[in-house]
A = this chain, B = another copy of it.
């Protein structure tokens, strides 16, 4: 523990460095969702520690919000362990086998929403779930969406990702009966306010039965989809 290192003073401190990160490895048994590692505030040594445990126990793992530098640091030490995707900033170790036909579509309003969409599809992939990805079909050009309605209406779950005013999930919600998980994104400027307007618009949507997750939370939307699929 660093406190001791630089002060040289004895303190009653039961947490030592290797216990700083406690992996909740039994969570998957309880909830069907393995723990994922949110990398944004993690120090390199914390990530190394986690990878050592993964390797030792031959476990699978999903990393989210992993920066290119974090990945490079790990790749140097654990070559080939982590499959990294720079668009979604996700790393995957030992994903599950693809189980079935795709039951999930991931739809974006604009091409700027793609990183969030890929975080969702990568999370699904980690759980062995393929997905249909349809990008850039925002409602300002309504025919782009209507062209794809047939494909979408046969999916059980739509993860619908949109920034700015996020009108896409609402329009979709009035057209198809599937479960719709809406993800607001931080795309936009001025009163878009880092996605808060998109989020609020989705929460008060005039289309009934939409559910919403946090801004830019592709990972959470995919987990919600996995919860649905696991229950049936």
B-binding residues in A (CB < 8 A): 1-3, 6-15, 19-22, 24, 26-27, 30-33, 35-36, 38, 40-42, 46, 65, 83-88, 92, 95, 98, 101-102, 109-112, 114, 118, 121-122, 125, 130-144, 151, 156-157, 164-167, 170-171, 173-181, 186-217, 219-220, 223-224, 226-228, 230-232
Contacts and interface: CB of A to CB of B under 8 A. Distances in A.
7 contacts: A22-B136, A30-B174, A36-B208, A139-B171, A200-B201, A210-B213, A211-B224
A11 B6 CA distance: 47
Contacts of A138: 206
B165 A139 contact: no
Contact of A111 (B42, B132, B206): B42
A171 to B, nearest CB: 5
A17 to B, nearest CB: 10
A87 B2 contact: yes
A171 B118 CA distance: 26
A85 B167 CA distance: 32
B205 A210 contact: no
Contacts of A31: 173-177, 209
Contacts of A22: 111, 135-137, 141, 144
B175 A142 contact: yes
Contact of A204 (B35, B136, B174, B188): B188
Contacts of A227: 177-180, 209
Nearest 9 CB-CB pairs, A to B?
A: A209-B223, A190-B215, A211-B211, A24-B141, A41-B112, A32-B177, A165-B201, A12-B130, A12-B102
B212 A211 contact: yes
A1 to B, nearest CB: 7
B165 A202 contact: yes
Contacts of A201: 165-167, 197-198, 200-201
Given A30-B174, A157-B231, 10 more contacts: A3-B125, A11-B125, A13-B121, A20-B136, A140-B208, A156-B231, A189-B215, A191-B215, A192-B200, A228-B228
